[in-house]
Amino acid sequence: MNIYVLMKRTFDTEEKITISGGKINEDGAEFIINPYDEYAIEEAIQVRDANGGEVTVVSVGTEESEKQLRTALAMGADKAVLINTEDDVENGDQFTTSKILAEFLKDKDADLIIGGNVAIDGGSGQVAPRVAELLDIPYITTITKLDIDGTNATIVRDVEGDSEVIEASLPLLVTAQQGLNEPRYPSLPGIMKAKKKPLDELELDDLDLDEDDVEAKTKTIEIYLPPKKEAGKVLEGELGDQVKELVSLLHNEAKVV
């Protein structure tokens, strides 16, 4: 089985993030594999182990993404590919990334493509479905269980606190939701093996793309932190008096009524 995983390098949101000049300050920031993509990598490895085949992890970004790709190899992926856009793409968006990924994947005869449900830095959840649309293959998002039987797949997906079961045929793209599995930690032998596994680097020219083909369709005007939360107020007195005070506060201070 030919399995591809879409992986993104993201800020570690458990660490402190600072804003400078309307942009996230990368100096001193910690970067990790997008947590939802860790579920995707783990699931790909489990599917390969059960059905045979090969797992290739693909990322679009800069050379700094090599560290996260090596981590994916240490987890158990067979190959990794970095599509380096550092010199060609100044300000990409979801369209940019999905266009590049689809161009790379279009002749790879992938049986299964797995991505994370969302990236924790942007949270749009657009890239994987866009890739499926460009490749003209079916896709199912927010999956919490995946069973493969030959060329058929039975999938459980999360739907607003409930779940539904879907049957589909390969080739197929799915996105991993929390609860799909428990991603493994790279073992020492896995880390040593990862150093010898292939990690290929491509550029836009290798995909017959130029900057105009992947020009962003959106523009980020500014990034800023939410306003500091003010202390709440406790209303006292008779219930009727509390209601009157609440309405007054909502009207005069919060200005929501």
pLDDT digits (tens, 9 = 90+) for 22-42: 667 777 778 899 999 999 999
Give the pLDDT confidence of 63-94 residue by residue, as tens digits. Answer: 999 999 999 999 999 999 999 998 888 888 89
State yes or no: pLDDT of 229 exceeds 70: yes
Q: Where are the alpha helices (DSSP H) in the chain?
A: 35-51, 66-75, 94-105, 127-135, 188-194, 239-252
Q: What is the pLDDT of residue 22?
A: 65
More confident residue, 97 or 253: 97
The region of weakest confidence among 75-79, 184-188, 231-235, 240-244 is: 231-235
Copy the structure tokens of residue 32: 């990790």
User: CB neighbours (10 Å) of residue 86?
Assistant: 12
Give the pLDDT confidence of 163-184 residue by residue, as tens digits. Answer: 999 999 999 999 999 999 999 9
Average pLDDT, the chain: 91
The region of weakest confidence among 43-52, 100-109, 113-122, 134-143 is: 113-122
Arch. (CATH architecture) of 2-214: 3-Layer(aba) Sandwich (3.40)
- Quick check: 100 and 131 in contact, CB under 8 A? no
* Measured CA angle at 23 (ends 22, 28), to 5 deg: 135
**Confidence bin at 51 (pLDDT 50/70/90):** very high
Alpha carbon dihedral 61, 62, 68, 70, in 10-degree steps, equals 110
Q: What is the pLDDT of residue 178?
A: 93
More confident residue, 226 or 151: 151
The region of weakest confidence among 51-60, 138-147, 246-255 is: 246-255
Q: Where are the domains of the chain?
A: 2-214, 226-257
- Mean pLDDT across 121-129: 89
Copy the structure tokens of residue 153: 């797949």
Q: What is the pLDDT of residue 143?
A: 96
Which run of H or of E encompasses 20?
strand 19-20
